[in-house]
Amino acid sequence: MNLTAELASRGFAFTLGALLFLIVTISLMRTVIVPRPLRSLYTDAVMWIIITVVRTIALTRRTYTARDAALA
């Protein structure tokens, strides 16, 4: 592998990781530390993904009992 390509990929990975760390840290501070409720894009995105997956799993069941069992 070319040294320039390796350095570029490591730099990109570091930048992406630092950005993700910063986003999560800000989200944590806004959610936990600030005394009033603030919206966090990261938290909203994670919640949306979880709710969508759970609803999709529940909708594959036909009866209420089966849906309840899947969600439990």
pLDDT tens-digit profile of 27-57? Answer: 888 778 776 766 777 778 888 999 999 889 8
pTM value? 0.51
Q: How far apart are CA 21 and CA 19, in angstroms?
A: 5
Average pLDDT for 7-35: 88
The more confidently predicted of residues 29 and 1 is 29
Average pLDDT for 3-29: 91
Average pLDDT for 15-29: 91
Helix (H, G, I), strand (E, B) or coil at 72: coil
Q: CA torsion angle for 30, 32, 34, 36 (degrees, to 10)?
A: 100
Query: What ranges do the domains of the chain cover?
Result: 1-36, 39-72
**pLDDT at residue 22 in the model:** 94
Closest CA to 31 of 22, 43, 15: 43
